[in-house]
Chains A and B, each alone.
Chain A
Amino acid sequence: MGAQLRVYKRRIQAVTATKKITKAMEMIAASRIVKAQRKVAASMPYATELTRAVTAVATGSNTNHPLTTEAESPARAAVLLLTSDRGLAGGYSSNAIKAAERLRERLAAEGKEVDTYIVGRKGVAYYGFRERKVSGSWTGFTDSPEYSDAKKIAEPLIASIQKDTAEGGVDELHIVFTEFVSMMTQNAVDGRMLPLSLDKVEEESTEKGEILPLFDFEPSAEDVLDALLPRYVESRIYNALLQAAASEHAARRRAMKSATDNAGDLIKSLSRLANAARQAEITQEISEIVGGAGALADASAGSDK
């Protein structure tokens, strides 16, 4: 076998092996999307009921809770960024990081300091490499987050928003995550969790045109709100984590699908080249044989005379 042909054969073998791996990853990711979507659906009843309850308390009572009223001059904001633990998911993590950068710039332009909280190894690595200050980070569960993970994340965030700004607390709470729109579309979005923008909450819950009744609060509106808001934040974070997980799997599936397709194309063009090389080799051999036979014939014809 010619050297050229051997090189092509080896490359085809290597690309075929890679293709098998990417194909397997694609199928694993595809099965996980379904699982993640099911989890999002399972968490919906709790989230909608909670949103309804928060709206009811916030609109039905005249309480001025620190978590529902905007600070007059907000000086510091916390940003929670959700990225993935593992790579090979196309632009998933970098899109979320970019969205967080834009939000940071916007908040900085409004004169607010930004505290960053990060979920996922990719985001931590990005900030670590640039030696930026990170107020808190969590890793190891972005594949399939549990409610206890959301609780763990929410705890320091709620603590810092309840603290005074002068003592290092924050006035606002923002979240950046990748919204799962469909199998093909996932968008990195940012949203403000606290203080509650009531118009938005109301819009979400009164879409069906329901009118909220006047509630009787047990023990009191303030106490209910005090207990509700941390749960509300946890549930929002949980929902975002689940959506981000579904998006991560969808992004990985798409990235792996195009990697598999590219490997297929590469194999095709490499086998074309290998075929041409083999053919060239055969042609050369034939012309050598013909040339050799001709020379022999000439030589023997000369000696006969």
Chain B
Amino acid sequence: MAAELHVELVAADRSVWSGEATLVVARTTSGDIGVMPGHQPLLGVLESGPVTIRTSDGATVVAAVHGGFISFADNKLSLLAEIAELADEIDVQRAERALERAKSDTDAAAERRADVRLRAVAAH
């Protein structure tokens, strides 16, 4: 059995996903980072972006994460985000509408949020 790490993806008001995984890829402010079991303790600031979790049974979970932190210690990885959505939960049409609206309002932050959502769905 391959080594595993325990992942907790929590948003401010709920726990989004938790389970065992073999690889987690997230985007920090200084670039993408991949965490595998046995990584050295790490604490980083996350960018708005998709997070990819390869679960131990080979499935892939993708979530859109907007700001937050990644912390890893003792083979336990926590992804803390103010807002986090699994790709399955994302309403594509709504995200597309939000993207259109953000583009016409030139709201860079909203545009980025909608873009991240759509990319998370596409990667799923």
Interface residues of B in 1-55 (CB under 8 A from A): 8, 10-15, 28-30, 33, 40-45
Interface residues of B in 57-96 (CB under 8 A from A): 68-71, 73-74, 78, 80, 82
Known: A42-B15, A43-B13. A53 touches B41 (CB 8 A): no
Report A-chain residues with C-beta under 8 Å of the C-beta of B45: 218-219, 223-224, 227
Cα-based distance from A216 to B78 in the complex (angstroms): 15
B71 to A53, Cβ gap below 8 A? Answer: yes
Nearest-neighbour CB distance to chain A for B47, whole angstroms, equals 11
Q: Which residue of A lies closest to B42 (CB)?
A: A216
Report A-chain residues with C-beta under 8 Å of the C-beta of B82: 147, 151, 231, 234
Stretch in A44-52, A118-126, A178-186, A243-251 with 4+ CB within 8 Å of B: A44-52
Nearest-neighbour CB distance to chain B for A113, whole angstroms, equals 32
B15 to A216, Cβ gap below 8 A? Answer: no
Which DSSP category, helix, strand, loop or mixed, fits chain A's interface?
Answer: helix
Known: A214-B41, A217-B44, A219-B30. A53 touches B69 (CB 8 A): yes
B41 to A215, Cβ gap below 8 A? Answer: yes
B41 to A218, Cβ gap below 8 A? Answer: no
B13 to A56, Cβ gap below 8 A? Answer: no
Query: Per a CB cutoff under 8 Å, which of A45, A214, A227 touches B10?
Result: A45
Cα-based distance from A218 to B29 in the complex (angstroms): 8
Cα-based distance from A57 to B80 in the complex (angstroms): 15
Report A-chain residues with C-beta under 8 Å of the C-beta of B41: 213-216
B13 to A42, Cβ gap below 8 A? Answer: yes
B12 to A53, Cβ gap below 8 A? Answer: no
Cα-based distance from A43 to B12 in the complex (angstroms): 6
Most buried by B among A43, A46, A212, A238: A46
Nearest-neighbour CB distance to chain A for B57, whole angstroms, equals 23
Nearest-neighbour CB distance to chain A for B77, whole angstroms, equals 11
Mark contacts of A217-260 with chain B using CB atoms, 8 A cut-off: 1 yes-contact digit, 0 otherwise. 11100011001100100110010000000000000000000000
Nearest-neighbour CB distance to chain B for A278, whole angstroms, equals 59
Nearest-neighbour CB distance to chain A for B23, whole angstroms, equals 17
Query: Per a CB cutoff under 8 Å, which of B11, B14, B15, B28 touches A218?
Result: B28
B contact residues vs A (CB 8 Å cutoff): 8, 10-15, 28-30, 33, 40-45, 68-71, 73-74, 78, 80, 82
Q: A49-B10, A213-B73, A218-B45 are in contact. List 11 more A-B contacts (CB 8 A).
A: A45-B8, A49-B8, A49-B71, A49-B80, A52-B71, A56-B43, A57-B43, A217-B43, A218-B30, A219-B28, A227-B45
- A-B residue pairs, 7 tightest by C-beta: A218-B44, A213-B41, A147-B12, A219-B30, A215-B43, A45-B10, A227-B45
- The 7 listed contacts between A and B (C-beta, < 8 Å) are A42-B14, A42-B15, A46-B12, A50-B69, A215-B41, A215-B42, A219-B28
